[in-house]
Structure 1
Amino acid sequence: MADIKKREEITNSMLKLITSTKEILVIISPYIQLSSEFKKAISALDRNITILIAFRSKDINEKTFEFLHNLPNAILFGNDFLHTKCYMNEKTAIITSQNLYDYSMKNNFELAVEFKSKIDPKNFYDIKKESFFILERSRCLTEQNLKYHLHDGKVAHCSSCGTNIFPILYEESYGYGIWRKEHLCQNCIAEFEQYEKENNEVEIFKRYGQKCALCGGNNDNQLQLAMGIAPICTKCNNKMVSPIDKKKIGKYN
């Protein structure tokens, strides 16, 4: 069901995936250095296509970042723990060892597996779900693009002050697991780091989990606060039991 791509086929498959995109393009690659061919392909995409790109922000060069940042339809995410490489649009997903990096494409021995949504819907769906899970836990570097591209403007909220911090791509997957600093805005993180040194975990969760990370309202879910897990209010938590495909937002409808 999956199609194995050998070294000499991978780059062409990635280019084909980009140029055939009609709705949304997802690029997850720790290291990015674009050749002129890839720059041309990405720049030629219709402005109504949303481009989501995640990379290690500390390892990207200035020229590449400037190019990506200037794309009017791109939302960039920084995640310095990235290791996976995934490229997908609404119909095709490629999981590979190859970064979107010109040197790697020309010199390294790589391997890739390509999945089609019509041929292998389960694996395609699982890849999509995990890719968006990664994006949600990455830091958005282009917040000014969020409301334009995510039609209903859904974003995660700081669990301390309630301000918007980054997009929610799937409501169900956001927030599960241990409460982390990623649930805070930059202003609250600075205060949190000092408070963390002087207080126990229960007090920390109570103080910095006052707001729901999904809706920004007051967090009434005392059980979650007591357990020290992601701050989601009771109303939002109850909505998260629906099948994930019913909670898609943005252009992934």
Structure 2
Amino acid sequence: MTTADDRAYPGNGVDGPAPRFEGLRALFINATLKRSPEPSNTDGLVRISARIMREHGVQVEEIRAADHEIATGVWPDMTEHGWDTDAWPPIYRQVAAADILVLAGPIWLGDNSSVMKRVIERLYSCSGLLNEHGQYAYYGRVGGCLITGNEDGVKHCAMNVLYSLQHLGFTIPPQADAGWIGPAGPGPSYLDPGSGGPENDFTTRNTTFMTYNLLHLASMLRDAGGVPAYGNRRSEWDAGCAPDQDNPEHR
């Protein structure tokens, strides 16, 4: 009987050398409230995941959203809607060039930061754009998230981020989130001396599993040419050619 471990998926690294993922590109957006160069605890988890990716040949970029003047709104370029400046269009070009997007951020009042919410809103602003197959723009890309804090809310924040990403068209692999949380109430943050965060086996394990799952799924989607386009093409639907519906004008 053939088991999953016996099957010859070339990227599983079970019976051979560690897989390589050259050609894949990953983007981490850190939604900390802190501007550079102020230390960000969320960067501590980002570094673990980004290091693994780089060691396997992935081109990795990191953005701290608070360093950029991202306008509020739900249009691709808010300078066309009354804002003097908007840093989102060049950031979106980095998103569009990436096979993997990881949103990372802190917990405030049990929820995602205001910066995280703005990033997701601006991702939404571009979700109506189409790819070369006529699908929504984020099809064929995978998403994950990293959450840090010293108060409850890791799973709540992760659910919000991952739901948002899949709703916009990203594909979410198994165990696509990881987080660290200190003692409830005021206390040490992830990178504070003596916090135990960097040494926490549960957090490091989940971050590692998330990273490899993102890499494997992104590689599989790339090799398959993305998500199959039958039945999910917005361009076809708008033209009156909805699948499985008779329309003599578009046969």
TM-score with structure 1 length normalisation? 0.29
Q: Which has the higher helix share?
A: 1
TM-score with structure 2 length normalisation? 0.30
